[in-house]
Amino acid sequence: MSQETVAAKRYARALFEVAAQQQKGLEVEQELRVVVSAIEGDADIQKFISTPNIPRSVKMNALNKALAGKISKPVLNTIELLLEKGRTDLFAELLNSYVKIQGASLGMADAAVYSTYPLSDQEKEQVAAEFGQMAQQKIRVTNVVDESLLGGLKVVIGDKLYDGSLSGKLERLEKSFNRQA
């Protein structure tokens, strides 16, 4: 496990504890998702935050003006702390760690479901139900369209991969032929 992952988990744990005390765990998760996707999705914001020539106080003032009143104090404080400590590279990992901690506290797991087309809500519910029984947890499904799959699904829950894709099946078939030859 990298040092960044360990550090991000510490920040995420602290943020979760504050959110849990305020009974706003899911709200904080949503706010964190919005902030991280805004930062990660905009090259100009990333450049502004990571430029060493811009004083941290200027960056903090800009973030405060942009985010004040739009996100909760715990999320804003965490973003400011990461900025102050020069750990802006941890935003995405912070979100991932927070989601895992939040999910574990609720008995939930997140599943990335790879398919060749966007799944309907009913299909997502079916996948969540089937894999929820296997994992003995409530599953939150995130659908990722991967057109390189020939068909079927790949499901990733935590560090486990359930490969029901056609390309995965063909690959396993090829390996079994190679073992027999």
Q: Which pLDDT tens digit goes with each residue over 54-108? A: 888 888 888 888 887 888 989 989 998 988 888 888 888 999 899 889 888 888 8
| Residue among 167, 81, 154, 162 nearest 115 (CA) | 154
Tokens of 27: 């709200």
Q: Contact at 8 Å (CB) between 67 and 31?
A: no
Instruction: Tell me if 128 sits within 8 A of 122, measured CB to CB.
Output: no
- The predicted model gives 15-44 an average pLDDT of 90
d(CA 97, CA 110): 12
Q: Interhelix angle for 91-105 vs 73-84, to 10°?
A: 140
Distance, first Cα to last Cα, the chain = 39
Mean pLDDT of all residues in the chain? Answer: 86
Mean pLDDT of 155-174: 79
The Cα–Cα gap between 143 and 130 comes to 15
Would the pLDDT of 164 be above 90? no
CATH topology of domain 3-103: Peroxidase; domain 1 (1.10.520)
pTM above 0.75, yes or no: no
Start and end residues for every CATH 3.40.30 domain found in the chain: 108-180
Architecture label for domain 108-180? 3-Layer(aba) Sandwich (3.40)
- Amino acid, res. 96: N
HSE of 12, CA atoms in CB hemisphere, 13 A: 25
